Each structure stands twice: as C-alpha cells, then as structure tokens.
A and B are shown apart, each in its own frame.
Chain A
Amino acid sequence: MDKNTKYAAVNTKIAAMCGKLLKDDDYRKMIQMSSPSEIAMYLKNNTSYAEFFKETDPSKLHRDAIEKILHECLVTYMDKLINYFSGEYRSFIKCFYMRYEIVDLKRIARLIYIEKDFEDLKSNMVFVGKYRYIDMDNVIKAKSIKELIMALKDTVYYEYVKGLIDSVHDDSLYRFEMELDRAFFNELSAKSKKLSKTDQKAFKDIIGTDADMLNLQWIYRGKKYYNLSPEEIFNYSIDIGCKFNYQDIKKLCYMSTMDEFVNTVKENTPYEFMFKNDSRQDIYMERRMRRYLYHKIMNVRRRAKLDISMTLVYIELIEDELQDITSVIEDVRYNLDYEEAKRYLITVI
C-alpha cells in the first residue's frame, strides 16, 4: 500500500491526540497538590482525561483506583490507533498490548507467590485478554503458578512458560516473569520483521534504542545485584537492539569487572548517561533511560515522517505520560517537596 494512504490518516490522528497530552504546566500544578484525590479532580476538570473520570467521584478515589482508570485510558488510546492498521501491521501493534498484559500477569503471579487472597482482581486487570484470547476466569482462579500456566494454554505465552509447569525450584517466579518478557520481545521482533523496510528502520531506531538501554540495565543489575553467570545474563538479553549486535552484548556480558563494563559503555556507546557514578545512579537509571528515549522520540516526532515511527512515538509518549502521572501521585502521597519530586519525572519541568 502507498505510504500516503497508509499513514496520512493515522499520523493526523496522532497529531491530534498528541495535542491532548498534558503540558508541563499541568505537572507543575499537580506536584504541588496535597492528595491523590485532588490530582484526580484536576485530571477530571482540566485535562483530556475528563471523559474517563466522568462517572467517578474524584474525592473518593485513592491511588489504586486512579491508576486503574489511567490504564483504561491507555487501552482506549491504543484502541483508537489500532483501527488504522490491518493485517501484519495490526498484529504488530497488538504486540504492544502484550507489554501491559504481561504486567497484569506478573502481578497475578506475584500475588499467588506471596499467597495473598485477592479480591476484585478481575476488575483490576485492565489488559488481560484484551486482544489475545486469555481465559480470564481460569487465570483469576489460579491458586498456583502451575494452574496459572495451565490457564494460559492456547495463548502465545504457553510455549514459553510450559517448561515451568513441573518446575519445583524456588526461582520459578523469576523464570516465569523472564519468560513472559521473552515472549513479548520475541513476538515483537518476529512481527516487526513483517513490516516494510522503512518501517523496520523506524522500529529499530525507537524500540531498538529502548532495547539497548534495557540490555545495559539488565547486564548491570545482573552483575551487580543478582550475581548471575554471564551465560545466563546473555541468554536473557534482548535481540532487537539498535546499536548493539549479539557480539557486542556478549562482550559486555563477559566483562570481568564492573568498572570495565561501565567504562566500555561510556567510551563506545551513546548511553554513557546511564552511568554517572553518582550516589543515585541506580535510582535514576530508569528515569534517565526514559528521558533519553523521550528526547529521541521528540526528535522523531518533529520530523513527522510518513511511516510507523509516529505511531511508535505516540505509544511511548502516552506510556511516559502515564508513568509520570503515577509518579506524581506517588510524590504527593509521600509528601516529597517540589524539587525532589520533579526529579522523578520523565518530563523535564
């Protein structure tokens, strides 16, 4: 299909939807508020989130409920985008639902793991089963990781996690989560290969950068905190990177000391910002990664090419925004002062 017919409409839609994103000023105001429900009130009265809060009474909402509503927004926004795509492209976009679906599944797995009874779990699961067939009832009923895996039968995840059914190790939760993530990245990588050449490039540019950083973060944490063997670290790394191929990753995995690893990253890659060697390096790492990506996608957005890039930009932007709102709510909840609070945001205010 001609790129004009394919992307003119969706890019216009995205431009319009981007216009509804929160402004810096919104964040400034929200940070200074005193309670989560006040933020909910603000979102309801002053932002495009109004329609999602329409039927609620913000003063009665606490954090969980607000986050749930925000997640529902995310689904709605994604739903709007997906209608512009068909065939291979549609199933590519659908992969991004997996990202959130996995969050839900992980949450269930953890609740099972700590043997907590969960009420109203179903209503809190926003993503599970949204676009792939997942037997919600069984997933919710699962009392053990094994039952959870059985409930995932006939889903894309089953192939990945079925090996863990009879696993008796203590690390089965960890493996379960890792396999879900692997499922996401493998699916994404497989589906991205069906895109056109220019779209693949755009994909690599944006999602690949994210993958690079995630890899670095994983290697760093794997070495520093989890004491994993290089082989394991390598095996769980992601394939769809932009700057690194597997040999680079492997080299990084097999670096013998932390210093060597950090220095190599600093000298040879654009990601030196991740390791500033300050005391808050680990806390800020994730935010720094997102902020780097944020600047990257803002650049891409300015170019506004007629390819998949705008769609990816929007998916990342809305993800950032929700994360920021969540952070703001937490900031307010823990009474952080303004200067401290704004440091945890991806958006620079």
Chain B
Amino acid sequence: MSVEKMEKVNIVGHMEDIDDVARQIILSSSVHMVNAFSEIQENNFPILNAKQDIDAVLEYNYIKQYTSCKNLPELKEKIVGMMDIFGLKKNVYDAHLRGRYSYDDDNKDISELYEKVKSNHEHFIQLDKEYKDLEHIQKYLMLLKDKQFNLTEALNMKYINVKFGRFSKANMDRFKKNYENVSAIIFRLYEGTNHVVVMMLVPESVDIEVSRVLSSLNFEEFKIKYSFEGTPAQWMEGLSDRRQQILDEKKNLQDELLEYKNKYASKIQVYYSRVMLEYKVEELKSYIACTNEFFYLTGWVPAHKKNKLMESIKKYDERLITIFKDAPEEHEGIQPPTCLRNSYLVRPFESIVKLYGIPSYNEMDPSAFLGITYMILFGAMFGDLGQGFILFAIGEFLMRKNHRPNLGGVFARLGISSMIFGLLYGSFFGFENVIPALLIRPMEKINNVLIAGVIFGVVLLTIGFVYNLINAFKNKDIENGIFSKNGVAGLVFYWLFLLLILQIVGYAPSFIPTGVVVVLMVIMLAVILLKEPLAHMIKGVKPLYNESASDYYIEGGFGVIETILSLFSNTVSFIRVGAFAINHVGLFIAFETLAEMVSGGAASAAILVIGNIIIIGLEGMIVFIQGLRLEYYELFSKYFIGDGYEYVPFHISSIKGGASVKNNDSFENEKAA
C-alpha cells in the first residue's frame, strides 16, 4: 500500500569470503548497493563495536576502494567459444549457482577443458574470420564484377600497389580538392550516402608518402588477404566455392567434437552461468571498500526482504558482522531508495506513477489511489461490456505473450472496469438495446451524468488534499501542510467555495449566512498568502521571509489568484468524465446511423465492426490520455512530488529458474568420479 520500510545493512567480513558473500547477496536480489567507500569517507558507516572484531576496527584506517584482479573477459571468451562450437544456448540457470564453489578452481577447470578443444576452436575461429573476410571481399567484387581485367595479376604487380578501401564523404571531398598533388590513380567504385568506396593504384616508390596522406584522411583500407584466379567475375565463383567449403569444414569440426560435447556440455553450461554471475560479483565489488583483510559493504534492504538476506548469508554468519539500521536514524541528506509494494490489483499502476516520478521515501505511495481512481475514471468514460472485454483480452495477451506485465496489466484492469460500467450503462458494443442498464443511460440523463462527474471530481480532489496533509504531517512540514493552498487552508477554502456556489444556486441549506462564508474564504486566502511568515513564526525561524518581502507578496498575490482559478478549473475539469461517457454513446450513434443509411446486411455490419474498432482504438486512446491527465495534472499536482529514486536490488537478470537440475546432478556425479 505504501512505500516499503527500508533498512540500511552494513556488512563487514573477511576478504576471503567476499566472493561467496557477494554471490549470495546477488542471488537473494535484495540489496540496493551503496558505495561503501564514500559512505565511510563521509562517516556514515557505523562505528564498529570494538568487542566484535578488534582487527576489523584496527584496519579501518587502511581502507581503500576495491580493485578487481580477475580476468573475466578471457574466461568468458573461452566459455563462449566452447558454447559456440558446441552450439549451446547461452542461458543462466539458477540451479547452477547454488552451493559453494571457488572461482580459482573453476578457472583452472575451464582452462583445462579449453585446452582440449583449443586447436579445434582456434581453427573454428579462423574459419569464421575467413568467412567474414570473404563476405567483405565479395562486396568489393560486386562493384568490380563487370570489369574485364585479371585481378590476381593486378594485385601481384611489383611496382604498383592496388589498394581498396573507403572514405567518408567529407574526407573524399577534401581528397578530391587535392587530387593533383597525390601520386595515385583513384577509381571511385561506389558512392553511398556517407561513404565512398575506392580502388587506388599507388606506385610502390611513393607508397609511404601516399599512406600518410591517406591516414590523415582517415582512409579505411581493406586488405585483401585471400587470392583467387582471374577476373573479378571468376573470383566471385572461386569465392563462393570456398565459402561453401568453409561451411562444410565448420560442420565437420563440430561433428568431430560431438563426443566432447556429450561429455562436457552440461558442465560448460554450469560454468557459463557461474561466469555470468561472476561478472555481477565484480560489479557488486565496485561498491565495496576493503583493506587487505576485511571488506566493508553497505546497502539498502526493504524490511520484507531482510529475512531472505539473512537466510542467504547465514552460512557465513559467524565470520561476518552484520549491522542493520533503520532509515529514519540516518543523517539527513541521503534518502533511502523507494521500494513500492502494492497488492495485485494496483501493482501495474506503479508504472504509471513512475512515469511521473518515483515517490520519495517519506512520501505516500499514490499507486493505490491512482490505480483505483484511474480504473473508475476510465470505466466511467468508456463504459461498454463488449469493448471492455476486448481491452481486457488485449491486456491479457500483452501480459502473457509479449511479456509486458505493466502495460498489459493496466489494459486488463481498465478493460474489467469498462465492462462493469458497461453493465451499469447497459451498453454492449455500443448497442443500448441488448442488455438492460443497471444504473443509468448516459444519453438520456445528460445533466445528471455531467453533475455526477463533477461530484466525483470533488471527492477525488478532497482525497488528494488528504494525501498531501498526510505527506506534510510525515515530513513535519507546517508551511505546506497547514497554510499552503494544498494544505488545510486550501482544503477549507475549497469546501467553503463549493458551499458558496451551492448556496448561490440555491441547493445548499443556508445554516451559515453567505456573508460569513465569504469572510471565511477571504481569511483563508490571507492565510495562504501569509504562509511563509506564519510558518516561520510558529517554528521560530528568522528572518520571516526567505526572499525580500516585496518579492514574496507580489509572487504570493499571483499565487492567490492562481489558487482560486485552479481550484475552480480543477473541479470543472472533471466534467469531462461525464462528457466522455456521453460522447462514447454519441460516437456509436453516428456509426449506427451510417449503417442504417447503407441498409445492406453485409455493408452495415461492416460499418458497425469498423465503427467499433475506431471507437476502441481512437476513443479508447483519448479516454486513456484524458484519464491520465486528470490523474497527473488535477491530482498529482496537489499532493505528489515524486523526487525519490527507485530501489533496484542487485540481481542477475534473465535467470532461468530451477531448470536443468538433472544436468547439474550428472555434473556433480562426474566431478565425484
């Protein structure tokens, strides 16, 4: 419902455990890391209790940032190389990462394994490279294929060098301006939008000079390393033969290695998972501080994940010092990250809140309020049983097939809300005669619908005020909470304002005379105008104004006018909820009329179908946006600031759950054997 409580965790441990601890932390995916080194420098790391481990305290003076010494890229290259040659999928499996293992052993093992397939792998790479080079050569040959000359002989000329390559367009222009001074013959083979491909004949004797000129023009030379016979056209033939040959050779190599593959595939897969984890471990370590013996690690943990974290590092517990600290104890300035936690119903709407901003740690999480009201607003504006179901179906599809849980989730929920309102309005794919209306038919009681929209708006705005009051109370912000236009003064003014209107229209009981209401309103406006000096007086802060008094009152004066206008417009703005409900019916009536005018069975059916599609697509989108507008502009501006930052626990992404446990077992057996 609200922002999850955060605790700061500080861990001190022995350097030799760092890898294991880091792995467990990553797998528990619960810690939002903070750079320990800067924390220590700013004296935020809790002073250690000397009784616990005197050495760790002593070493405190020699703290430095951790620097990595593992050569992961090389290791990864080996594994990925083996995976490529065996044709294995590059997935990370959770099951491979459990249990204790050491990086050094793995490293040795992988290197040994790699030695066995090394020659094959190198050959494999070499073939790959040749294949790519040939592809490149072919591109050049395509440009030359109509020319009748012996390319092989041309390339082997003794006193003239043939160069191929490309210039960027700008450099080619520059080159052109100076042709007469360059001792070379240049053929332009191809001119693209950005590049020019050229062939050049350069006399051997001036090759060095020309090369220097070329490199100053950033010439990308392409050296032809393979040779075939005859004209470019003949080269092409020879080249495609060779490419086929390479493919065959690669296949043979893979077949040769089949035995190895059967034997080691699962093992390699395990190592792959581990290396990917190791990358994360190194990333995590860039946040730690260390001495020669100890490491210091710090981060944020939401309360509900605390146990998970403790569980995962339990094994090392006696060798670690773990200190938890509540967030509010923290010094000012550094805010904890925000971890939103909401029920299933409103969870997808978190993404809509995040579009606007992440709530800060001390703010109320508006997701629930937004989710529920947004659903109601959308449904009220776009109430239709059939069309709502289609939205729901689209949402479900996005969620399950396209893996877009947020967008899909929002769509599905809006769809359901639309269906409920469809029942209330008695609308099914626009037809008003299929199902009975449980509540009201918008088109028949236009005034009531519009007024209902405004009343709903008043309720929402009031809740918005309440949210702001709670936020202000949490932050002990008197100025914003009591005196500002979004605080108590604003709320009282708003209700008096409504009362006044009702009295003028003659709906409201006149237990308070109109004159009193007006006087009270003026007082409230005065309070809003004087919010800063009043707040400062209560808190005893001096001076009363942060800026010069005249500036303050000019700005405040406009602020008061703006308050009156905006409260009025914010309220009236909700009339659109009713208007769109009517609009929705009206749009369909238009299509229905069209369909009747055509008066042909198939044609009018087609018009009705197209009409429905347009209504869902176009009106659905408009309503979606209008609803968002009401939420963001009319409501968020009242109570939501959103200057927090998101809680992102350190975790390894795209991890596959328990799969290939079998493989893992066989691997363990093998190791035992």
Contacts and interface: CB of A to CB of B under 8 A. Distances in A.
Contacts of B213: 229, 231-232, 235
B220 A163 contact: yes
Contacts of B182: 231
Contacts of A234: 174, 178
A179 interface: yes
A280 B639 CA distance: 66
A186 B171 CA distance: 10
A179 B219 CA distance: 12
Contacts of A182: 218
A231 B216 contact: yes
Nearest to A159: B168
B215 interface: yes
Interface string A212-242: 0000000000000000011110111001000
Contacts of A179: 218
A193 to B, nearest CB: 12
Contact of B212 (A163, A178, A232): A232
A120 to B, nearest CB: 11
B217 interface: yes
Nearest to A247: B177
Contacts of B218: 160, 163, 179, 182
A169 B212 CA distance: 11
A202 to B, nearest CB: 23
A339 to B, nearest CB: 42
Contacts of A254: 181
A175 interface: yes
Interface in A165-182: 169, 175, 178-179, 182
Nearest to A175: B215
B77 interface: no
A273 interface: no
B170 interface: yes
A246 interface: yes
Interface string B167-201: 01011001101100110000000000000000000
Nearest to B165: A163
Among A179, A182, A239, the most chain B Cβ lie within 10 Å of the Cβ of A182
B146 interface: no
A246 B177 contact: yes
Which of A163, A169, A231, A239 gathers most chain B CB within 10 Å? Answer: A231
A63 interface: no
Given A159-B168, A186-B170, A231 B220 contact: no
Interface in B211-231: 212-213, 215-220
Nearest to A190: B170
Contacts of A99: none
B209 interface: yes
A328 B209 CA distance: 44
Contact of A235 (B168, B174, B209, B220): B174
A119 to B, nearest CB: 9
B206 to A, nearest CB: 11
A85 B182 CA distance: 44
Contacts of A132: none
Interface in A232-274: 232, 234-236, 239, 246-247, 250, 254
B673 to A, nearest CB: 42
B215 A229 contact: no
A230 B170 CA distance: 19
A235 B217 contact: yes
Interface string B570-602: 000000000000000000000000000000000
Nearest to A235: B216
Contacts of B170: 186
B193 to A, nearest CB: 13
A190 B212 CA distance: 26
A11 to B, nearest CB: 25
Contact of B216 (A160, A236, A239, A246): A236
A231 B174 contact: no
A179 B174 CA distance: 14
A157 B177 CA distance: 24
A231 B177 CA distance: 11
A231 B182 CA distance: 8
Contacts of B217: 235
B216 A232 contact: yes
B219 A229 contact: no
A235 B178 CA distance: 9
Interface in B332-381: none
B181 A230 contact: yes
A239 to B, nearest CB: 8
A231 B171 CA distance: 13
A229 B209 contact: yes
Q: Identify which of B178, B182, B209, B219 gathers the most chain A CB atoms within 10 Å of its CB.
A: B178
A152 to B, nearest CB: 14
Nearest to B220: A163
A231 B181 contact: yes
Contacts of A160: 218
A235 B211 CA distance: 13
A234 B215 CA distance: 13
Contact of A229 (B171, B174, B212): B212
A247 B181 CA distance: 13
A227 to B, nearest CB: 11
Contacts of A175: 215-216
Interface string A130-162: 000000000000000000000000000001100
Interface in A287-309: none
Nearest to B174: A235
Given A229-B209, A231-B182, A235-B213, A163 B177 contact: no
Contacts of B178: 231, 234-235, 250
Given A169-B215, A231-B181, 4 more contacts: A232-B213, A235-B178, A239-B174, A247-B177
- 10 A-B pairs with the lowest CB-CB distances in the bound complex, closest first: A231-B213, A235-B216, A232-B216, A163-B220, A163-B218, A235-B217, A246-B177, A234-B178, A231-B181, A186-B170
Interface of B: 168, 170-171, 174-175, 177-178, 181-182, 209, 212-213, 215-220
29 contacts: A159-B168, A160-B218, A163-B218, A163-B219, A175-B215, A175-B216, A179-B218, A182-B218, A186-B170, A229-B213, A230-B181, A231-B178, A231-B182, A231-B209, A231-B212, A232-B212, A232-B213, A232-B216, A235-B171, A235-B174, A235-B178, A235-B213, A235-B216, A235-B217, A236-B216, A246-B177, A250-B177, A250-B178, A254-B181
